[in-house]
Amino acid sequence: MPDLHRTTGRWRLGVGLALVTTTIWGLLAMALKVLVVKLDPFTVTWIRFVGAGCLMLVVGRHGRIPSPRHAPGPYALLLVATCGIAGNFVLFLAGLRLTSPATAQLVSQLAPLFLMAGSMVVFGERFQRLQWVGLASLVGGLLLYFGERTAEMTNGLHGTLGGVLLIGAGAASWTAYALAQKQLLRDFTPDFVLAFVYLAGSLLLLPPAQPHLLLAQSWPRLGLLVATIVVTLVSYRCFSGALQHLEGSRVGVVISLTPLITLVGVTVASSFLPDWVQPERLGAAGLAGALLVVAGSALTALARRT
């Protein structure tokens, strides 16, 4: 059995870091929705990676770097993490172009579910009976939520359905990153991992990116783009820290609250910035479905034991 990463046991700190991550991710979707109106997903992700990677080189604590001659496995995992996070960012933005922030975050709840399933395989965790109840609640909530949007879901791959499929694929890509990230914490500091995946990811995305488009953006949009770079760094640094101190299943519980934060954020922001943020129109069935998704995701994660 390989030497797997173990948490520090400082669960209060882990929960706090996970809450910061969840809040940022919940509000970030609104900002990204504004940006992808005039910028493509590759360009937005590329500049976010470049900015966050450079910041990590300045403020990060990278620690000792193992020699690749003695530790080839961790470097292979670094490549998996890089491809996983780059794929997640691009696919999420591509799907966000076709759907609303709240819908995107609800579909993204497949990511914690995929993470739990992956943890069962990689870290030897077990699926309990109560988790099947949570899974049924999550699936039922998604069906209820999208059942209220039947017309949207029948408009083909260039509409809501296509956005849902892209975001689902992004959730699977994020799972590969998260599993690799958790194991990498055994050999590297979180700051080194983040600096590597951001800078390596920026090189990976440079060919399809169009940096010249940034020159045509207004100052408010450029300011919003800079803000997304900073919060990208902060949120993933907090996420890495949460995985150090807390089990992946418990982190998944907190992250499951992200759609609710997005719904509240969209409701508030649409009142003050109606030209930038469109209100989310939810009926009783849609709201019930959203709550079932969050409850199911939280229950599935909370019931897990190692």
Identify the pLDDT of residue 192. Answer: 84
For helices 248-255 and 110-122, the axis angle rounded to 10 degrees is 180
Q: What does pLDDT average to in each consecutive run of 10 residues of the chain (306 residues)?
A: 58 82 87 90 94 83 55 80 94 91 84 73 67 77 74 62 90 89 79 89 95 90 91 83 74 76 82 74 77 76 52
Identify the pLDDT of residue 95. Answer: 92
Identify the pLDDT of residue 155. Answer: 61
As a whole number of angstroms, the distance between CA 126 and CA 106 comes to 25
Identify the pLDDT of residue 17. Answer: 87
As a whole number of angstroms, the distance between CA 231 and CA 235 comes to 6
3-state helix, strand, coil in the chain (%, to 5): 75, 0, 25
Cβ–Cβ < 8 Å for 22, 238: no
* DSSP labels, 29-68: HHHHHHHTTTS-HHHHHHHHHHHHHHHHHHH----PPPPT
Identify the pLDDT of residue 306. Answer: 37
Identify the pLDDT of residue 6. Answer: 62
On the CB side of 208, CA atoms within 13 Å amount to 13
Identify the pLDDT of residue 60. Answer: 64
